[in-house]
Amino acid sequence: MASEAHGAETGGLVFHPMDQFIVKPLFGGDTIEWYTITNVTLWMAIAVLAVIAMMVLGTSRRAMIPSRSQSVGELAYGFVYKMVEDVAGKDALKFFPYIMTLFMFIVFANFLGLIPMSFTTTSHFAVTVVLALLVFLTVTIVGFVKNGVGFLGLFWVSSAPLALRPILAVIELISYFVRPVSHSIRLAGNVMAGHAVIKVFAGFAAIAVVSPVSVVAITAMYGLEVLVAFIQAYVFTILTCVYLKDALHPSH
Amino acid sequence: MEGDLAHIGAGLAAIGSGAAAIGVGNVAGNYLAGALRNPSAAASQTATLFIGIAFAEALGIFSFLVALLLMFAV
């Protein structure tokens, strides 16, 4: 249905705003197997290499007076460390490496996706669902290992009246299992929506009358997207911390 | 015919993003009102602000997802 409309419009939209999210194999071939190297693989690898470059190479020559890359690395480290400590508590700090990895990967994938002609890996649900499911599994396993059956106290709100508790338990159970859904869709949805809006305005730029307005709109949206790229990584990380806090201290 | 109905449904689902905008505006506006009354407590509550915005926004993103499904999957 959508593919029929490709380039069919006269004058206006000559490309589809969702075309930028198509997964293509890099080295020819039409079928995509699990091992096929696609543009997603490429941009994920670039994101990982960029994180390594900043955090390992940037801080390899530790100096009293930090170089520019070292101070950026220290800033990112301190930012996430403080967030884990404040939101999830001191005993959650042993999960700091995991949360730091999540934050750095998402922030780099988001920002690399903002480079024109690049591919945004975090705009795909397949990517974010894996990240969110890993967080969900980690949190659930940690909760049961740390608290045993007491972890189920998370669903039994002891401060509520007794008659209400079974109803609340059902609601809490549903909200617990919706977590990975909303956790992943929030990131992918925000990033995808922003990029699609930019492409929609880019389609209007082909019409001479509205093209100045559309170029200004693209610039404004791009500025907003830079903000969104960071905020969504921040939100993903902080929600991981909140879930971790629930797992470590399940009592309400 | 079925495709046309799906497009109408996608447009209706987009109303949800407006509703999410009201929710996010509520959270941010109330945060600002509180922060201006007690600026010294504002910095400690930014994390709560972002969590609140994220929860309000999630449901708007769900409606966006419904619109996408109607456009491309139905």
**pLDDT 10s digits, B48-70:** 898 888 888 888 888 888 888 88
Find all residues with CB under 8 Å of B44, minimum gap 6, and list them. Answer: none
CB contact under 8 A, B50 and A238: yes
Comparing CA positions, the residue from A113, A124, A123 lying closest to residue A222 is A113
Cβ contacts of A182 on chain B, cutoff 8 Å: 58, 61-62
Mean pLDDT computed over every residue of chain B:
87
- Where in the sequence is the domain holding B43, given as residue range(s)? 2-72
| Residue of A16, A85, A86, A186 to mutate when probing chain B, most B C-beta within 10 A | A186
Domain-wise residue ranges, chain A: 3-248
User: How far, in Å, CA of A128 to CA of B71, rounded?
Assistant: 21
A86, A189, A238 member nearest B65 (Cβ)? A189
CB contact under 8 A, A2 and B72: yes
We report the CATH number of the domain holding residue B62 as: 1.20.20.10
pLDDT at A143: 92
How far is C-alpha A172 from the chain's CA centre?
24
User: How far, in Å, CA of A188 to CA of A131, rounded?
Assistant: 11
Q: What share of chain B is helix, strand, coil (3-state, %, to 5)?
A: 95, 0, 5
ipTM (interface predicted TM): 0.77
Comparing CA positions, the residue from A18, A8, A58, A2 lying closest to residue A202 is A18
Token pair 């990517």 in the structure block, residue: A127
User: How far, in Å, CA of A5 to CA of A18, rounded?
Assistant: 12
Residues of B with a Cβ under 8 Å from any A Cβ are 3, 6, 47, 50-51, 53-54, 57-58, 61-62, 64-65, 71-72
* Total domains present in chain B: 1
Cβ-in-10-Å burial (0-12, 13-18, 19+) of B60 comes to buried
Residue A46: CB atoms within 10 A of its CB come to 17
pLDDT in tens, chain A (252 residues): 344 444 444 444 567 878 888 888 888 777 778 888 888 999 999 999 999 998 888 888 877 888 888 899 999 999 999 999 998 889 899 999 999 999 999 999 999 999 988 999 999 989 999 999 999 999 999 999 998 888 888 888 888 888 889 999 999 999 899 899 889 989 998 999 889 889 888 888 888 888 899 999 999 999 999 999 999 999 999 999 999 998 998 875
Helix (H) or strand (E) holding B26, with range, is: helix B15-37
Q: What is the pLDDT of residues B6-19, one digit of tens each?
A: 889 889 998 988 99
E-state strands within chain A: none
Whether the predicted model's global pTM rises above the 0.90 cut: no
